[in-house]
């Protein structure tokens, strides 16, 4: 089992607001863990709390409550200078818009983190040249961000994120601002990095294509995880309670973990029905042992009631 690289417990975050609606609760007691070399996707609609979660996990935002441990250290209690140093050695970010410095070339954008880290210029230049070649953009090294295509700009942002050799990349809608063809090439690159360099990823997205790249995915809704899919799912990452959707047609959708807990698909009997409350009991035998017409018990495997002649259900 790989080492636990990132662990968050009981995360809450409240955005204070003077608006009539009052404060906004963006995260509601979230817990999540990610192992070294693992890829996890957090999926959900706009406003679900994805970006807030990513910023909290990366130390860009201090949660209102809860703990975030990155590489074994509690970053929610770190002083700013200590946090910067710890984050620089562990994690890098990729944002939807790339956030490249507009006055620097692609090469110098990628070089910037190494300058801040005090890496000697000759070594830094060699690492940047190697990284740009690895990502297939060495011919665009001297172009300014405004001269790059969407795909080239995002690859430059990815090169900048990788140049410090992080153990974890946190990506916020990494394909959100590019066309489908470019998005596919970026995800192929992520897959290559994940498999060849064993880089861990936590990606927040609303895209199914991006989520499919991950080893497992968590569904986020209204600040809480409501379902999880993929390999080695961690049910403790989910909220202690679930929100289920009952549509106007009376159809009730269960999350996969709840369906498994109930015992899977089958027939269920309503044992207790009150307002705001429904108690179900699984019918273990699909065939009734009592005649529905006259309540006479069936004898063994007989298919017709010996008392009234009704067929067995």
Instruction: Say what the pLDDT of residue 286 is.
Output: 46
Please give the class, per CATH, of domain 38-54+77-230. alpha beta
d(CA 301, CA 289): 9
Tell me the range of 6-10, 94-98, 206-210, 211-215 where mean pLDDT is highest.
Answer: 6-10
pLDDT band at 281 (very low <50, low <70, confident <90, very high): confident
Map tokens 């042992």 to a residue: 289
Q: Which residue from 112, 192, 122 is spatially nearest to 156, judged by alpha carbons?
A: 112
d(CA 303, CA 214): 50
Residue extents of the structural domains in the chain: 38-54+77-230
- Which pTM value belongs to this model? 0.69
DSSP the chain: -PPEEEEEEEEEEEE---STT--EEEEEEEEEEEETT-EEEEE--TTSSHHHHHHHHTTSS--SEEEEEETTEEGGG--HHHHHHHHHTTEEEE-TT----TTS-HHHHHHHHHHHTT--HHHHHHHHHHHHHHTT-GGGTT--GGGS-HHHHHHHHHHHHHTT--SEEEEESTTTTS-HHHHHHHHHHHHHHHHHS--EEEEEES-HHHHHTSSEEEEEETTEEEEEEETT--GGGS-SS---EE-TTS-EEPPHHHHHHHTSSS-EEEEEEETTEEEEEE-S-SS-SB-TTT-PBP-TT-SB-TTT-PBP-
The proportion of the chain whose per-residue pLDDT surpasses 90, expressed as a percent, equals 23
Pair of tokens at residue 115: 């300058």
Task: Please state the rounded mean pLDDT for residues 154-179.
Answer: 85
Half-sphere exposure of 307 (CA within 13 A, CB side): 11
Mind listing the pLDDT tens digit for each residue in 116-155? 888 999 999 999 999 899 888 999 999 999 999 888 888 8
């Amino acid at each position: 089992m790989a080492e636990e690289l990132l662990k968050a417990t009981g995360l809450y975050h409240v955005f204070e607001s003077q608006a009539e609606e009052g404060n906004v609760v963006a995260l509601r007691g979230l817990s999540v863990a990610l192992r070294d070399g693992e890829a996890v996707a957090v999926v959900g609609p706009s406003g679900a709390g994805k970006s807030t979660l990513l910023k909290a996990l990366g130390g860009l935002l201090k949660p209102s409550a809860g703990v975030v441990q990155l590489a074994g250290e509690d970053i929610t209690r770190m002083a700013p200078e200590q946090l910067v140093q710890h984050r620089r050695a562990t994690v890098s970010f990729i944002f939807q818009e790339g956030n490249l410095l507009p006055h620097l070339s692609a090469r110098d954008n990628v070089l910037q983190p190494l300058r801040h880290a005090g890496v000697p210029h000759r070594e830094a230049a060699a690492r940047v040249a190697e990284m740009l070649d690895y990502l297939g953009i060495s011919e665009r090294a001297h172009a300014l961000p405004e001269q790059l295509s969407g795909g080239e700009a995002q690859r430059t942002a990815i090169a900048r994120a990788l140049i410090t050799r992080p153990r974890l990349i946190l990506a916020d809608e990494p394909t959100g601002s590019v066309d489908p063809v470019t998005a596919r090439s970026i995800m192929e690159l992520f897959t290559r990095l994940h498999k060849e360099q064993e880089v861990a990823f936590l990606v927040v997205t609303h895209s199914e294509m991006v989520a499919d790249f991950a080893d497992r995915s968590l569904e986020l809704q209204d600040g809480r995880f409501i379902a999880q899919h993929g390999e080695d799912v961690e049910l403790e990452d989910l909220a202690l309670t679930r929100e289920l959707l009952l549509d106007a047609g009376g159809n009730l959708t269960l999350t996969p973990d709840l369906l498994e807990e109930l015992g899977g698909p089958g027939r269920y009997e309503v044992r207790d029905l009150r307002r705001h409350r429904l108690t179900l009991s699984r019918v273990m035998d699909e065939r009734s042992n009592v005649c529905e017409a006259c309540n006479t018990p069936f004898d063994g495997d007989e298919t017709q009631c010996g008392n009234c002649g009704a067929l067995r259900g």
